[in-house]
Amino acid sequence: MGTAKRTTLADAVARFTRDGMSIAIGLALEPAIPFAFAHELIRQRRRDLELIGPISDVLFDQLIGAGCVRRVTAAWVGNVSAGLGHCYRRALEQGVPRRIEVRDHSNFTIAQALLAGAIGAPFIPTRTLLGSDIPRANGTFRESVSPFDGTTVLLVPAVLPDLAVIACQRADEEGNAQLVGPWGISREGALAAREVVVLAERVVPRREISSAPNLTLVPGTKVVAVVEEPFACHPSPLQGAYPRDHEFFHEYHRATRTREGFDAWLADWVTAVPDRAAYLAKLAPRWPP
């Protein structure tokens, strides 16, 4: 097996993302959020993206504020420990920097939508959200009746992302990616996607992967690019590698209350920073802790 999948983050974003595509990212919920990937999307000025995920902590907020996003298919967009996401609010309330569409989900329905995609089912029937206004707002669900017991069910149709981005502790050069810690909907999202990009804290020899194959979240057969990118998830945590940088989230919250504040933050931490190494140099010495 070759090493054709091993590449840099900039190359992976250049080759495997395009304007208008749907990207599932931040699938483990609060941990293992591939912020490095989002920042590179912003630097490469991708536009009209559909973001798919459960919650995203501030990753979705940043991409929305940077004008990369057309639609958010998610259960929650904000800043988990600080509160609201200011860019998300500005986009929805004022159309700043552009209007976005929201396709509302709950965590469970987006999980089921990606499960359906992962196993090739057209939909999954559920009893969550009956009576909620989310199904009406979402517009893609159907209410139905179970032919087995006559009870009401909500049918959640499959979601099939063009791309899923997975950050993890280790992967081999074929993309066999191992994630330790909560998986959230990472596996469903990766298996539902057409292609997967893996950001690994360490790229390791196959024998390290095959010594514990139960930890492999997604087999390399789905993976098109493997990037070794240490600290790719900062400020979110990666189990066994680094903790969450709570203060960074709170600073972001304070700094981005205004559009000008966000633009300054973005210039400071993303657009004026060529790559993750420079970002980490800028963080030092405060981080890693």
Cβ neighbourhood burial of 197 (10 Å; 0-12, 13-18, 19+): buried
134 interacts with, out of a second copy, other proteins, none, CB within 5 to 8 A per kind = other proteins
4 binds other proteins, rule: CB under 8 A: no
Q: Which 36-75 positions form the footprint of other proteins (CB under 8 A)? A: 54-55, 57, 74-75
* 257 three-state secondary structure: coil
What is the rounded CA–CA span in Å between residue 144 and residue 150? Answer: 9
CA dihedral 202, 208, 214, 215 (to 10 degrees): -10
Q: Which 107-136 positions form the footprint of a second copy (CB under 8 A)? A: 120-127
Shortest reach from residue 41's CB to other proteins, in Å: 22
CB 216 within 8 A of CB 190: no
Total of chain residues touching other proteins, rule CB under 8 A? 82
Long-range contacts: 45-49, Cβ < 8 Å, 24+?
Answer: 46/13, 46/17, 46/18, 46/19, 47/19, 47/20, 48/19, 48/20, 49/19, 49/20, 49/21, 49/22, 49/23
181 binds other proteins, rule: CB under 8 A: yes
Shortest reach from residue 271's CB to other proteins, in Å: 25
* 118 three-state secondary structure: helix
CB 187 within 8 A of CB 118: yes
Name the amino acid, one letter, at 226.
Answer: V
With respect to other proteins, which residue has the nearer C-beta, 228 or 245?
A: 245
258 binds other proteins, rule: CB under 8 A: no
Binding mask 213-232 for a second copy (x = CB under 8 A): -xx-----------------
With respect to a second copy, which residue has the nearer C-beta, 9 or 153?
A: 153
287 binds other proteins, rule: CB under 8 A: no
Q: Which 113-172 positions form the footprint of other proteins (CB under 8 A)? A: 115, 117-121, 126-134, 137, 151-153, 172
Cβ neighbourhood burial of 274 (10 Å; 0-12, 13-18, 19+): exposed
With respect to a second copy, which residue has the nearer C-beta, 127 or 206?
A: 127
| Interacting residue with other proteins among 195, 239, 280, 283 (CB under 8 A) | 239
For a second copy, the binding residues (CB under 8 A) are 120-127, 142, 144, 146-149, 151, 153, 155, 157, 179-181, 183, 212, 214-215
